[in-house]
Structure formats: structure tokens, C-alpha cells
Amino acid sequence: MPEAANVMDRLVSLAKRRGFVFQSSEIYGGLGSVWDYGPLGVELKNNIKERWWRSMVHEREDIEGLDAAILMHPKVWEASGHLAGFTDPLVDCRQCKNRFRADDPRIKGSPGQPDAQCPVCGSKGMLTAPRMFNLMFKTFMGPVEEAAAVVYLRPETAQGIYVNYVNVLQSSRQKIPFGIAQVGKAFRNEITPGNFTFRTREFEQMEMQFFVKPGTDQQWFEFWREERMKWLVGLGIRAERLRFHQHTPQELAHYAKEAYDIQYEFPFGWQEFEGIHNRTDFDLSRHQEASGKKLEYLDPATTERFIPYVVETSAGADRTALVVMVDAYHEEEVAGEKRVVLRFHPAIAPLKAAVFPLVNKDGMPELSRRIFDDLRKHQKVFYDDGGSIGRRYRRQDEAGTPFGITIDGQSIQDGTVTVRDRDTLLQVRVAADGLAGYLAERLRS
Ligand code: ATP
């Protein structure tokens, strides 16, 4: 797919040029599959996370927030099954020393057999038989680097929720069904990372674990499946590029009874960026057993005791940001000129408006600065007085800024300015005094 590949290349280059995403430690040649967010990228990702938090935590009575630490007691990962089972099968090429996932589609033949061919150097019969490799990053706690001091960087945020489930339940006085939501970093020593920020070794998750009475789990699973899809469409992602993929028995994780991925049609194919999982009572039962602490729920209405089932919605903040960028990216022709525009939903656009004095004289810069100073108390806005007005519009189109505010000669006379809409290109005159309200109305939802 040369055309599709080119779209990704152009997006990656735009992301760097305009300050969305930079490679980590670039001046040292970069660190593999670790990325940094620049001034526009951090705004975009924060807006996505805030919107998620608002819809999950603030707008719901039955979900509480949590911010658990990245480092956890190592026994957590024993109980959760990650120490034994969070592994990928790996093969090495004895010729070129590269390492691959055994299921890498580029490998021809069966690794370990004479017919297997290395996808990098092309040697035959040099690929080792698959060996299991744990994806968790290890580090040491305290001054001694010995086995007893090993701790892990969490590979998912969910476990921080499970081990705090009783704390949250008791302190918030919630009753089942209820949920706990968390946004935070997770780390996986991925073997075949790539596709820009799609698969990285450090990333952020937005996870919500919903605790329900066994027997009601199926109904809640359906509920959250629909809710999450609605939320993504509300984020402005084109519905025809979204679909569910139900996990086959072979794909199901060790803890899951049923699972759906939400996939997006990237230029490199349909890929998961969020999952809804019925994790049953697997995690809480394992933690109860391993810690010796009761994690049962006592139903006040029926006095029944049970370990709740968990329905999880697990999204990657970085992957969602990538979906949003890919979906927003458009190349089009306007008045015979090519323009690149990021059509972000205004509510998550990094910059909400840009303020332009038409020329740098005749009182226009002074009025423009006053408008800019007023607007930035309410929204993230940008001031630009460099170059022709057309070029300034184009720069904001590339940044995905929904509104361009131009202060011209008439503005000095009657206090009105023009507001240009990024998508329709229509310009309307609006009283400068009413601009904050005008923007707020269009940025809501
Ligand atoms: P994959 O099959 O792509 O490795 P997964 O099924 O292991 O993902 P989950 O464990 O369900 O993923 O994680 C939930 C979400 O976290 C994913 O949908 C994705 O958005 C995000 N995520 C997981 N691994 C990564 C990664 N290496 N880089 C970026 N985001 C990730």
C-alpha cells in the first residue's frame, strides 16, 4: 500500500514539524519506540484524557477516580498472572542477530526449522525455535540490585484499581454496581514495536473497571460496549472507520470470559485501540487468595456475599490520540492550492483559535493583542502576525485550529472582527466583545 504508507509518512513528518510528537532523545539517535509530545501534542492528548475523565468520572454518579502508583508490590504481578503469562514467543536470527515475534507475518516458514527465512537478512535455517519472553520492565527498589529487590513497571493500570477496590468502596460509600477509573502510564517491553505511536514501550492508558454482581456481567458488558463506541464517535472519529472485533477463543486473554476490541481503519489496516473485557472475578479472586485479605462484597439488601465480576474498558491515550490525528488528517485543494488540514473536533483541538492582525499598523496590533489577552483567559489561543494572512491560515489549518480571528481596518472603526471556520472556510463578522461567548458556544459538546 504505497499510498497509505505515504500518508503515514506525511503525518509523522507533520507531527514533528508542527510540534505534536517528537522521537524520544532524538539528538542521541532516538530511543526505540518511545515518543515525546510537543506543545500541540500535549494539548491534544490532555484534551482527550480530560474528556474521558469528564464522561467517565464527573458525569457519572457510579464511578470514582483513582491515581495509583506505577510501582507496586511484586506479588501483585504474581497473583495477576503477568509474571508467568505476560509473554510473547520470540525467535532470534543467529546470522544477523535480530529478534522477532514468532508470529511476525514477515517470517516465511516455521522458526526453528531449516525452511524458516529471516525477514531482515534473508538467511534460511538461522531462526531459533520460539522462546517465551516476558514483556514487563524490571527495576530494583532500594540500594541493592538483587533478585529480592526486583520491582516492575506496571504493564497495565488495572491492577492498581483491583488492589484499591476495597479502599475506594469503603471511602466513597459506593455500592455495587460501581466503577473505578484511572489514567496513567504503563510500560511494555514490546518486541516488534512500530507504526509511529501505535505500539510503544511507554504509553498511557485510560482504564475503567466496573464491579458488578455475577450474573449481571453480560448486561453491563453490552452497556459499556455501546457507551464506549458512542464516546468515540462523539470525539469526532468517522463512524465508518470504527468497528468491533470480537476475540476468538484463541485471542482471549487468560483472565477474560468475553472481549471486544474497538478497531480503527488505519492506513496500515484495521487495528485495535480500545478493548472492552469481561474479566470475571479472576483478578479479585487471585488477589484475595494471594494477599489473604477478604475482597468479597456484602450486599446490604440481600446480605449475600460474593466476589464481584469486573467489566473493563481499556483505552490507550496515545493510540486514541493517533487515531484522532490520522482521522483528522486531510489533504485537499482550496482555490487551486493544496492545503493540509487537521479536522479535529473543536473540543479537543490543541489550539482553539488564532488571532491575526491583518497588517502590523493602524492600531490593528494593539486591538489584536487586547483580544488575544482576553481570549487566553478562557481558551488556548495563538497569536500570529508573521507573513501573509493566507499563510497564517494555512499554518493554523495544519495545527487543526478551528477558528481564525482577523482584525482588519473595519475592526478599528466598528469593533467587529472576522472569524474564519477551518472546515467550511466561511468568514463571519462578530463583535470583538462577544468573541469569548462565540467560541465557548462552538467549543462545547
Ligand atoms: P495489542 O494486541 O495491540 O498488543 P493488547 O490487546 O495487549 O494490545 P490491552 O492489554 O488490551 O492491549 O491494552 C488496552 C489498550 O492499551 C490497547 O487497546 C491500546 O490502546 C493500549 N496499548 C496496549 N499496548 C500498547 C502499546 N505497546 N503502545 C501503545 N498503546 C498500547
Q: What is the pLDDT of residue 3?
A: 64
The 10s digit of each residue's pLDDT in 50-72 is: 999 999 999 999 999 999 999 99
The 10s digit of each residue's pLDDT in 127-169 is: 999 988 899 999 999 988 888 899 999 999 999 999 999 999 9
Q: What is the pLDDT of residue 2?
A: 47
> Is residue 374 within 6 Å of ligand 1 at its C-beta?
no
Question: Model confidence at 253, in pLDDT bands (50, 70, 90)?
Answer: confident
Question: Model confidence at 227, in pLDDT bands (50, 70, 90)?
Answer: very high
Which atom of ligand 1 lies closest to the CA of 188? 27
Joined grid coordinates for residue 306 = 460474593
Query: Residue 8 pLDDT more than 80?
Result: yes
Question: Model confidence at 198, in pLDDT bands (50, 70, 90)?
Answer: very high
Q: What is the pLDDT of residue 103?
A: 85
Q: What is the pLDDT of residue 391?
A: 95
> Is residue 199 within 6 Å of ligand 1 at its C-beta?
yes
Q: What is the pLDDT of residue 193?
A: 65
Pocket residue to mutate for ligand 1, from 137, 199, 242, most atoms within 8 A of Cβ: 199
Q: Count, in order, helices (H) and strands (E) of the chain.
A: 13, 23
- Asked whether 338 and 355 are in contact (CB, 8 A), the reply is no
**Mean pLDDT to the nearest integer, 89-108:** 89
pLDDT > 70: what percent of the chain? 99
At 209 the three-state DSSP class reads strand
Cα 245 to ligand 1 centre (Å): 14
> Is residue 316 within 6 Å of ligand 1 at its C-beta?
yes
Q: What is the pLDDT of residue 4?
A: 63
> Is residue 190 within 6 Å of ligand 1 at its C-beta?
yes
Give the residue whose CA is nearest to atom 23 of ligand 1.
Answer: 316
Burial class (CB in 10 A: 0-12, 13-18, 19+), 188: buried
**DSSP string covering 85-142:** H-EEEEEEBTTT--EEETT-TT-BS-TTSTT-B-TTT--BS-BPPPEEEE--EEEE-S
Query: Between these two residues, 444 and 2, which has the higher pLDDT value?
Result: 444
The 10s digit of each residue's pLDDT in 299-323 is: 999 999 999 999 999 999 999 999 9
> Is residue 273 within 6 Å of ligand 1 at its C-beta?
yes
Question: Model confidence at 229, in pLDDT bands (50, 70, 90)?
Answer: very high
**Mean pLDDT to the nearest integer, 200-217:** 98
Query: Residue 248 pLDDT more than 80?
Result: yes
What Å distances lie between residue 39 and 17, 21, 22, 316, 370, CA to CA? 11, 9, 10, 20, 23
pTM of structure: 0.94
Query: Residue 1 pLDDT more than 70?
Result: no
What is the residue-averaged pLDDT of the chain?
A: 95
Cα 25 to ligand 1 centre (Å): 23
Which atom of ligand 1 lies closest to the CA of 200? 28
- Asked whether 57 and 66 are in contact (CB, 8 A), the reply is no
Query: Residue 365 pLDDT more than 60?
Result: yes
- Asked whether 262 and 275 are in contact (CB, 8 A), the reply is yes
Q: What is the pLDDT of residue 350?
A: 98
Q: Which residues are registered as beta bridge partners of 273?
A: none
**Which residue carries 491515581 as its cell?**
67
Pocket residue to mutate for ligand 1, from 200, 319, 325, most atoms within 8 A of Cβ: 319
Question: Model confidence at 117, in pLDDT bands (50, 70, 90)?
Answer: very high
The 10s digit of each residue's pLDDT in 34-49 is: 999 999 999 999 999 9
| Dist CA 359 CA 356 (whole Å) | 8
| Dist CA 64 CA 355 (whole Å) | 39
